[in-house]
């Protein structure tokens, strides 16, 4: 009975987090925030929370949903660099292709996997130390966000360097400086926000989970 209750709760939480991902993604200026030729995002946050709360398998599912929303957004509401995320969009010399799906999905799926192992690993190291759970959640949130940013931007550089540079209007030999700038301007604030919200949301949900399961 207890296992059935836990399984049901897990599926409900997965469905709710999946719904949140889609609501964020398709609510203008919330999930995907336009920044000229690129976008910032907060959609990785429910994926990180799901990873920690529900485990890496369900986290990977949420990450894949994140990827689906990115594919849809970059196909139906593209920016100048959307070809790196969608094989169905081309602009000028920038043409999407199957490699776009690697950038669109692999980092996002890993966002649903990495935080769980970071959290569990750090929690074991910290054991019963005061503030251990908070620190573990903080670093897991940072890790999940940075996995997305660092993988996406570096994959763009290696898979679409020339066309991405053209879309951004910069020289190829200065492109990695531009990549680092994007990581700094978009990625760092996203990671800090993810860390703060991961701690707050996960702690609240842990309490609910304990009450529901009687653990």
Domain of residue 129, CATH code: 1.10.1760.20
Whole-number percent of the chain with pLDDT over 90: 67
Give the pLDDT confidence of 153-194 residue by residue, as tens digits: 999 999 999 999 998 899 999 999 999 998 998 899 999 999
Q: How far is CA 85 from the centre of its chain?
A: 14
Give the pLDDT confidence of 129-144 residue by residue, as tens digits: 788 899 999 999 999 9
Sign of CA dihedral 201, 146, 114, 15: positive
Of 117, 93, 106, 85, nearest to 166 by C-alpha is 93
Sign of CA dihedral 114, 117, 122, 123: positive
pTM over cut 0.75:
yes
Please tell me the distance from the alpha carbon of residue 27 to that of residue 107, in angstroms, as a whole number.
22
Count of structural domains, the chain: 1
Buried b / exposed e along 181-192 (16+ C-beta atoms within 10 A): ebbeebbeebbe
- Listed in order, strand segments (DSSP E) in the chain are 32-35, 38-41, 90-91, 94-95
Q: What is the domain range of residue 80?
A: 2-213
């Amino acid at each position: 009975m207890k296992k059935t209750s836990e399984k049901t709760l897990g599926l409900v939480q997965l469905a709710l987090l999946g719904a949140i991902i889609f609501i964020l993604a398709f609510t203008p200026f919330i999930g995907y925030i336009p920044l000229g030729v690129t976008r910032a995002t907060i959609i990785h946050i429910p994926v990180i929370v799901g990873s920690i709360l529900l485990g890496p398998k369900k986290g990977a599912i949420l990450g894949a949903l994140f990827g689906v929303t990115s594919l849809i957004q970059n196909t139906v509401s593209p920016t100048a660099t959307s070809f790196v995320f969608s094989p169905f969009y081309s602009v000028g010399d920038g043409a999407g292709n199957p490699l776009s799906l690697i950038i669109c999905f692999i980092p996002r799926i890993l966002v649903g996997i990495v935080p769980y192992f970071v959290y569990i690993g750090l929690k074991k190291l910290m054991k019963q130390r005061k503030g251990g759970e908070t620190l573990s959640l903080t670093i897991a949130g940072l890790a999940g966000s940075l996995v997305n940013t660092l993988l996406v931007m570096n994959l763009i550089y290696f898979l679409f360097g020339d066309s991405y540079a053209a879309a951004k209007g910069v020289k190829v030999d200065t492109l990695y400086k531009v990549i680092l700038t994007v990581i700094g301007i978009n990625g760092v604030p996203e990671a800090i926000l993810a860390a703060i919200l991961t701690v707050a949301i996960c702690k609240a949900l842990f309490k609910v989970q304990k009450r529901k399961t009687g653990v």
